[in-house]
C-alpha cells in the first residue's frame, strides 16, 4: 500500500494550488482518505477527510469555503484543491488512508490513519 502526494510549491497569497494523492496497492474508494498538514514544532493538523465515518466529508474550520477534495476513481487518485491561499496555510501536506473499521472516530486525529504519503511542501508568500 502506497500513497504518493505531489503538487506542492510556492504561491502568492490569494492564489491556488492543487495537490494530488495517488494510491497504489489498494482501491482508494474503499478507504477513508484525509489530508493533514504540519508545520515545524506543531502537531499534524487535519485539513479534510472524504468518506469518513460512514461516507461523510469533513473540513477543518480554517479551510472551509476555500479547500475542496475530489477523487478520480479511474486513476485511483484524490485531489485537494486549495483556493484563496493564506500565509498560514504554509505547511507540509500529507495524505493518509484509513481502513474502514467498524465504529466511529475523530477524523482529525492522525493516529487513526493506517497509511501515509511522504508529504509535499506548500509555501504561501504574503
Instruction: Name 102's Cβ contacts closer than 8 Å, sequence gap at least 6.
Output: none
Region of poorest pLDDT, from 10-14, 23-27, 91-95, 115-119: 23-27
**Average pLDDT for residues 9-23, to the nearest whole number?**
97
Quick check: 115 pLDDT over 80?
Answer: yes
* pLDDT the model gives residue 102: 81
For 5, the grid coordinates are 502526494
* Integer Cα distance of 9 and 22 in angstroms: 17
Tens-digit pLDDT profile for residues 30-82: 789 999 999 999 999 999 999 998 889 999 999 999 999 998 888 989 999 99
Instruction: Check the CA dihedral 81-87-93-97 and report its sign.
Output: negative
* pLDDT the model gives residue 121: 98
Amino acid at each position: 500500500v502506497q500513497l504518493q502526494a505531489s503538487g506542492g510549491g510556492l504561491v502568492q497569497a490569494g492564489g491556488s494550488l492543487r495537490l494530488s494523492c495517488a494510491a497504489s496497492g489498494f482501491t482508494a474508494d474503499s478507504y477513508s482518505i484525509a489530508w493533514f498538514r504540519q508545520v515545524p514544532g506543531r502537531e499534524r493538523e487535519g485539513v479534510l477527510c472524504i468518506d469518513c465515518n460512514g461516507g461523510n466529508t469533513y473540513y477543518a474550520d480554517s479551510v472551509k469555503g476555500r479547500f475542496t477534495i475530489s477523487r478520480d476513481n479511474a486513476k485511483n487518485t484524490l485531489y485537494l484543491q486549495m483556493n484563496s491561499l493564506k500565509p498560514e496555510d504554509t505547511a507540509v501536506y500529507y495524505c493518509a488512508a484509513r481502513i474502514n473499521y467498524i465504529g466511529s472516530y475523530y477524523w482529525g486525529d492522525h493516529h487513526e490513519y493506517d497509511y501515509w504519503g511522504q508529504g509535499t511542501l506548500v509555501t504561501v508568500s504574503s
